[in-house]
Structure 1
Amino acid sequence: MAWEWVPPVSAAGGAVLGAWVGAVTTWLTAKGTRDHALELARADRQQQRFAEAYLDLVTYLEHFGQWAHTLRPLYEPAGHERRPMPSAEQQARCRALVAAYGSDAIKGLYKSYNETIGEIINADLLIGLALQSGRDAGVNEPEQWERLRGLLKQESERREQIADQVSAELST
């Protein structure tokens, strides 16, 4: 008679243990699914941020390109107004976006692009000086015009390289 309680207690203990194992397994499976869903949501948000930052970058570069290519037209009709250079605020935002989201390839291309823009600004200033002061300025005006044409071509190429890199990065 002393052993009569063993089978019912064993069955009850087995049922409790089975229920506990089932609950833990269900919880772990659900946690894994939740963690995976959170990771996918984070990746989607990150991809969206990259896309927005890169769209702002390409838009900014297009504005700068339009400014550069209308800087010194060969023929200026009366009343021609220069397109304004992107504002200091726009430039700062673009630099911040590249610093925060840009890949190493984008950062390198952007640096080269900015160097070209600096050279374009320099050539424009020298042409303006030569036009105002003539030969007294000590500037070889035809040489600066030729330099500006080469720099504008380089600006277009570098802008296209950045756009191609952005496209490649966003498509992966």
Structure 2
Amino acid sequence: MFNNIIFIGGIHGSGKGSMCSNLRKNLNIEHMTASDILNWSDISPEVGNKLVTDISFTQDRLIDGLKKRILPDKIYLLDGHFCLFDSNGCVENIPMDTFTKIDPIIISVVVSDPKLIVKRLSNRDKRNYDLKLIDNMQKREIEYGKEVANKLNIPFVLVERDLSPLLQSINQA
């Protein structure tokens, strides 16, 4: 649908926002977050809430929001997720159809040490997070990100600290 979006995935607290800010400054690319497009604070006014009651609804809302914002002659960084916690706290994949509609040109997943992620989230949200749950969610994010990239036949770039493979993919896109 859009074919001008670089999708940057990663679990909450992985550092994808910071990485996108660096890319935005260095490449002069617009950075958007799925949460901003969704107006997440309207959906879930509780600060730090990571549970999503209706994942399909939020993804439809994301696509509608993108339709209103995306211009065909620009490249965008979209900071989002490949999986979320549903209303029961279980990890659920974002529907493949969402990524088909977004039609990204590159998929990247930002990863970090799960212990560091737990620390960041605990400090940010003022609540405790289970290390095993965070570790499993990050593995799931990577696995499903690769699956989406394969299905869409686009590059997949895993980013831990070194941005150069992602920069190389962006320059080739």
TM over 0.5: no
Q: Using CA pairs below 8 Å that are at least 6 residues apart, which structure has the higher relative contact order?
A: 2
| Structure ID, larger Rg | 1
State TM-score, norm by structure 2. 0.30
Structure with the larger helix share: 1
